[in-house]
Structure 1
Amino acid sequence: MKYTKLPNSNIEVSKICLGTMTWGKQNTKEDGHEQMDYALANGVNFFDTAELYAIPKEKETQGVTETIIGEWFKKTGNRDKIVLASKIAGPSEFNEHYIRNGGFTKKAFNEAIHTSLQRLQTDYIDLYQLHWPDRKSNFFGKRDYQYDQTEQWKDNIHEILNILEGYIKEGKIRHIGLSNDVPWSVMRYLEENKYNGLPRIATVQNPYNLLNRTYEIGLAEISMKENVGLLPYSPLAFGRLTDKFIEKKGIEDARITLFPEMGRYNGENALKATQKYYALAKKHKISMATLALAFVNSRPFVTSNIIGATKMDQLKENIASINMELDAEVINEINSIHASIPNPAP
């Protein structure tokens, strides 16, 4: 395994992060515990979750993923070996009001943090992230921003950081990050640190993969110049960037098959690009998953690559991608495909 530091901290994290969002939906508690055992044994010390999980979201499974992790901590005593990241859900339009109403208020943070700590059976969360903004924006990897003149949102970023600073001082969270966010917001949060001494964001957790490299348009430069790391999620585009869909093997229980609503990588151009990446992977005698993950692992603005799997063989392949070094020829070929069909999803 390779390791890096969580930006602006002394916390060492593995370059592969274990994503957990299927636990409690596609995966059982036993599956989740097996994955955590294997990941830790193979050098992965960074786990990511959220109060919203499991995904696809529904009221009956909300919070179950954190509970599964908490039970593993209790069973194994491994809490001190793990750098743990979780998230507070954003406004209720996405979670259909069953978590809470409203935006990022003191009451919302108090409820979210304490409930997550209880489920996770821990006294602290190492990295606490805002799952999506509480304003209207082109988040969740969307390409285009549409201004809504009726929006009533007022800039509350100073207030949010003041609230989070209190939990940092109490020791309940150690560092903070954003998720599904955009350059304007990242710079606003950094301004509050620079000019008002409020807590500094360490990371941004956004979609990033061969079919969606929109992070490079504005956020990658911020990452490099301001030392804010990317925690890329969906590096395999919900499994689209794996051999099985091209070869039509074992796709009956795949995420995209089971949950058609998770279809942001199913468009015509995304499928065309995927065929090209598959051909490139076969040319170099590796799997498309390994190609896709190794590319993400190689990006200098990536702090840790959030992989996720529903089966152990997938998990093993994903973690092993850290050992694949793509040479300049392969990177150039990837960039040529990207130039021909740039950012085909969502």
Structure 2
Amino acid sequence: MRYTTLGRTELRVSNFCLGTMTWGTQNSDAEAFQQIDYALDQGVNFLDTAEMYPTTPLSAGTSGETERIIGRWFAKTGRREEVVLATKIVGAGNRTAGRDGAPIGPATLRLALDDSLRRLGTDRVDLYQLHWPNRGSYHFRRDWTFAPEEQPRGQAEEMLAILETLGELTREGKIRAVGLSNESAWGTATYLRLAEAHGLPRIASIQNEYSLMCRSFDLDLAELCHHEDVGLLAYSPLAAGLLTGKYAGGARPAGSRATINGDLGGRISVHSEPVAEAYVAIARRHGLDPAQMALAFAAARPFMASVIIGATSMEQLRTDLGAADVTLPAEVLRDIAALRRRHPRPL
């Protein structure tokens, strides 16, 4: 397992991060505990969660249960100090967290963080992330209708108030570093500029979707993050399972995410499924496990801080973490590049 310093912080995180969004619906406490124990034994030191988890399915009735499960694991094992713990506050419009869809701001930050700390059974969060910007986001297939010209002016003033509160919470010892999620290059750059100008916490990471089939990060955001030392935390590196091959030919295995969340957040379509099967075919042709090929590709990207993996079974988790030992040869990378050239934007 390789480790990376997160942004310009003192946090060292493993190249793979254990995602948790199925814990509390698809996975029980015992299954989640087994996953954490195994991941730590393999060198993973990074856990990512959110106040709205689990999401399979998303429900106000289960919101926060994933954090409670992690808190129960801390209480049972006493291993809090072995984990770099990341969680998130929901953005405007989400009502599962019990704040009636209120936007992120000074009051909601304090309320949400205190609630997360209580559920997690800890006095601090190592990385506190804004789950999506109040102004909206082009992620989750919203890029087809994204209209930045409709955003109200004054975004920087709102973002400054958020950073000021994060600065207070940092000084109070409740958080160690701050990160973004589902953000754009403009949003990230604005937070960085405001932090430098006002002596406030610097953005350490950005958690955006990244996979063989979703590579918009390779452009402006990759350039920004290279020059500003902001690491990517990649979610959905397997395109929600499409890149494992388990949905090939229209298959929908019992209990899989596609049987719960339908089209996998817009990822399943007549455009995407043939491309996913073509990536799986590349892996098979070179004697590779498809999931491991996809994860190894993401982990090797120069801007990658950590790849977030999620599993509902120990078999899946063992396969996924096996990617830490995989280095893709040049001929595989050439085949991947050729397929991307033919299908640059399948999702």
Sort the TM-score into its range (normalised by shorter chain). over 0.9
**Deviation >6 Å, runs of 4+:** 247-250
Structure 1 gaps of 5+ residues are none
Distance 2:155 2:229 in 1: 27
Q: How does 1:18-97 map to 2 (within 5 A)?
A: 18-55=18-55, 56-92=57-93, 94-95=94-95
Q: Does the 8 Å CA contact 1:179/1:204 hold for their aligned counterparts?
A: yes
Q: How does 1:1-346 map to 2 (within 5 A)?
A: 1-55=1-55, 56-92=57-93, 94-95=94-95, 98-140=98-140, 142-144=142-144, 145-147=146-148, 149=150, 151=152, 154-155=155-156, 156-246=158-248, 251-260=253-262, 262-345=264-347
Alpha-carbon shift at residue 196 of structure 1 (Å): 2.1
Distance 1:96 1:141 in 2: 21
Alpha-carbon shift at residue 171 of structure 1 (Å): 0.4
Q: Compared with structure 1, are the counterparts of its residues 329 and 95 closer, same or farther at alpha carbon in structure 2 (3 Å cutoff)?
A: farther
Q: Compared with structure 1, are the counterparts of its residues 69 and 96 closer, same or farther at alpha carbon in structure 2 (3 Å cutoff)?
A: closer
Q: Compared with structure 1, are the counterparts of its residues 292 and 121 closer, same or farther at alpha carbon in structure 2 (3 Å cutoff)?
A: same
Alpha-carbon shift at residue 151 of structure 1 (Å): 4.3
Distance 2:151 2:127 in 1: 34
Q: Does the 8 Å CA contact 1:243/1:287 hold for their aligned counterparts?
A: no
Alpha-carbon shift at residue 154 of structure 1 (Å): 3.8
Q: Compared with structure 1, are the counterparts of its residues 34 and 150 closer, same or farther at alpha carbon in structure 2 (3 Å cutoff)?
A: closer
Alpha-carbon shift at residue 224 of structure 1 (Å): 1.0
Q: Compared with structure 1, are the counterparts of its residues 334 and 95 closer, same or farther at alpha carbon in structure 2 (3 Å cutoff)?
A: farther
Q: Does the 8 Å CA contact 1:70/1:119 hold for their aligned counterparts?
A: yes
Q: Deviations over 1:68-103 (max 9, x none)?
A: 0000001000000000000001112x3367344321
Q: Compared with structure 1, are the counterparts of its residues 330 and 20 closer, same or farther at alpha carbon in structure 2 (3 Å cutoff)?
A: same
State percent identity of aligned pairs.
41
3-state SS in 2 of match to 1:143: helix
Q: Does the 8 Å CA contact 1:205/1:233 hold for their aligned counterparts?
A: yes
Q: Give the TM-score taking structure 1 as reference length.
A: 0.95
Alpha-carbon shift at residue 140 of structure 1 (Å): 3.6
3-state SS in 2 of match to 1:221: helix
Alpha-carbon shift at residue 150 of structure 1 (Å): 7.3
* Count of paired positions: 344
3-state SS in 2 of match to 1:231: strand
Distance 2:40 2:252 in 1: 27
The AA in structure 2 aligned to 1:176 is V
Q: Deviations over 1:157-215 (max 9, x none)?
A: 11110010000000000000000011110000110122222110000000000111111
Q: Does the 8 Å CA contact 1:141/1:180 hold for their aligned counterparts?
A: no
**More displaced stretch, 233-242 vs 134-143:** 134-143
Distance 1:208 1:239 in 2: 13
**More displaced stretch, 44-53 vs 251-260:** 251-260
The AA in structure 2 aligned to 1:313 is E
Q: Deviations over 1:234-280 (max 9, x none)?
A: 00111111122227777122101222053422112211211210110
Q: Deviations over 1:126-171 (max 9, x none)?
A: 0000000011331346434313547476431111100100000000
3-state SS in 1 of match to 2:318: helix
